[in-house]
Amino acid sequence: MNTDKLSVRLTKVANYVPEGARMADIGSDHAYLPCYLAKNLKISFAIAGEVAQGPFQSAEKNVLAEGLSDKIVVRMGDGLEVIQPGEVDCITIAGMGGALISSILDSGRDKLDSVKRLVLQPNISAISIRTWLLANNWELIAEEIIEEDSKIYEILVAEKGDPAKPYMEKKEEGLLLGPFLLKQKNETFKKKWTLEKKNWQRIYQALEGASETAETIEKRKELLDKIRQVGEVLNSEETERS
């Protein structure tokens, strides 16, 4: 992967950045995403934000090498600290856990007034992001699920709007599995949730031998609920095919 050719995962993220956007890529690493978008004349301005010295220096080096210093500013800081209010209209955050992405958005909510679109790619716990979006008046408008190098990723796209709109049919299942992904039910979706269900079943069996505490009882209940939800979705797919 380089500034000319992104990974499949980052290409999907790039596809959702609006034409002419003023973007901030948080956790930009080598700044591959903003460099790629700037080189393809898709964005007008970008901030590449990094919290660690090594990736910050890599991003600076790449932006300079590509001659993009007039379009891309590399800044070091924690989360949305690198953005000034009103400076960008699109934020991308890719390659982190869903809980961390949600925390970054929550801590920097004062920077979101001018932002029209969020493009988020959690490595795990997309439910954390969906829950945050729902609670903070961001409407989920698109989702994708892909597999690359034996890893499964979800991409979530949100804009300001009616946060409850995507969950009119099945809120609980939608938050866990993704309201758009639930409708698509592609092979990657089925693979992910079949594996997750098996993992939850293993954990549940291990907990059956644990001491009866309020915590273990609650954990077993939570796992059973998830196993049931995913099982119903996967079974309905099998029924539709037969």
Q: How confident is the model at residue 241 (pLDDT cuts 50, 70, 90)?
A: low
> Is a pLDDT exceeding 60 seen at residue 242?
no
Query: Mean pLDDT over residues 15-41, rounded?
Result: 96
Which candidate, 46, 47, 160, 163, places its Cα nearest to that of 113?
160
The model scores a pTM over 0.85: yes
List, for residues 212-240, the tens digit of each pLDDT value. Answer: 888 888 989 999 999 999 999 998 765 45
Dist CA 191 CA 66 (whole Å): 39
> Is a pLDDT exceeding 60 seen at residue 32?
yes
List, for residues 137-149, the tens digit of each pLDDT value. Answer: 999 999 999 999 9
| Residue 178 and residue 130 in contact, taking contact as beta carbons nearer than 8 Å | yes
E-strand ranges in the chain read 21-26, 43-50, 72-76, 90-96, 117-122, 138-148, 151-160
DSSP state of 18: P
Average pLDDT of the chain?
94
Torsion of CA 166, 171, 173, 175, to 10 degrees: 70
Amino acid letter, 211? S
Dist CA 25 CA 79 (whole Å): 10
- Among left, alpha and beta (phi > 0; psi -120 to 50; other), residue 43 is beta
Dist CA 234 CA 15 (whole Å): 29
Dist CA 124 CA 142 (whole Å): 18
Dist CA 49 CA 56 (whole Å): 8
Dist CA 15 CA 11 (whole Å): 6
Identify the three-state secondary structure at position 147: strand
Q: How confident is the model at residue 211 (pLDDT cuts 50, 70, 90)?
A: confident
